[in-house]
Structure 1
């Protein structure tokens, strides 16, 4: 069986036993360096990474195909890509870069399979008269319009 196919099969078997976890990325370099990036509805623990690593490591024959394996969680600096990742960040501030090169930042209010809803707060010039006014609005953004989305880290 092809290396990548077997690796994917073992990883999927592990993920079937852990429905709270999901695959974000699987990378295999030309030199067989394998990187598995996981995320979870309730986060990913070190034990989760160890369990995934063992599910692969103990079922692959290094005599047939030698490889190195690294299993990690998707960090805060990693972009949000899947609805499940957005869903677990409801209530947090996120920064969204859109395909038209504009950016918006706001609180993630809701998520479905097609879009996210952000609460935006900003100041704009008054429509009538001088000065500025505070504006709070909800904005729906389709996943197809998102180039990149990141959780805003505040200290």
Structure 2
């Protein structure tokens, strides 16, 4: 009952601000409600407050006691859905698959796959020395074990 009601309120809050989307929703023991959101243009403190108010002001604490935490996906949080990849096109990612790991620029992202591009130094086909070559990988979301934005300072 509580889970369905909270899910409905989250959906209403996100309809009011379509640039926001849900990453995680969980109700732990003792009715601890955790909501993690992200946004196409990032998430402000006010965005978290608005979602929190939408939930809190529409639940009756006399009926059920609960705690509520609404947070944004952190900068170090793994990317979890295509919409997050799309908003990070142009940034450098660290992407792990079962077989490989890539550190590359996210060139494209659609609903099925991502395209990564990077430069690598490889031995010359003929003679000694190395040459810089452009590399590309197209990965389906199902093949990605973990992907994070690489933060550079």
> Structure 1 length normalisation: TM-score?
0.95
Equivalent position of 1:149 in the other structure: 147
Deviates more, 1:135-144 or 1:85-94: 135-144
In 2, the alpha carbon distance for the partners of 1:135 and 1:65 equals 61
Out of 105, 130, 146, the residue aligned to residue 128 of structure 2 is: 130
Report the CA distance between 1:135 and its aligned residue.
Answer: 1.5
Q: Residues 86-134 of structure 1: CA distance to partner in whole angstroms, max 9, x if unpaired? A: 111111000100023x201111111111000111212122232222221
Give the secondary structure class of the aligned counterpart of 1:10: helix
Alignment of 1:114 onto 2:133 = no
Q: Residues 10-40 of structure 1: CA distance to partner in whole angstroms, max 9, x if unpaired? A: 1111111111100000121112111111000
Report the CA distance between 1:142 and its aligned residue.
Answer: 0.7
Give the secondary structure class of the aligned counterpart of 1:80: coil
In 1, the alpha carbon distance for the partners of 2:28 and 2:11 equals 20
What do you get for the CA RMSD once the two structures are aligned?
Answer: 1.0
In 2, the alpha carbon distance for the partners of 1:27 and 1:151 equals 24
> Structure 2 length normalisation: TM-score?
0.96
In 1, the alpha carbon distance for the partners of 2:22 and 2:115 equals 24
Deviates more, 1:122-131 or 1:61-70: 122-131
Moved over 6 A (4+): none
User: Map of 1:11-50 to 2, 5 A cutoff?
Assistant: 11-50=10-49
Unaligned runs of 5+ in 1: none
Give the secondary structure class of the aligned counterpart of 1:31: helix
Alignment size in residue pairs = 153
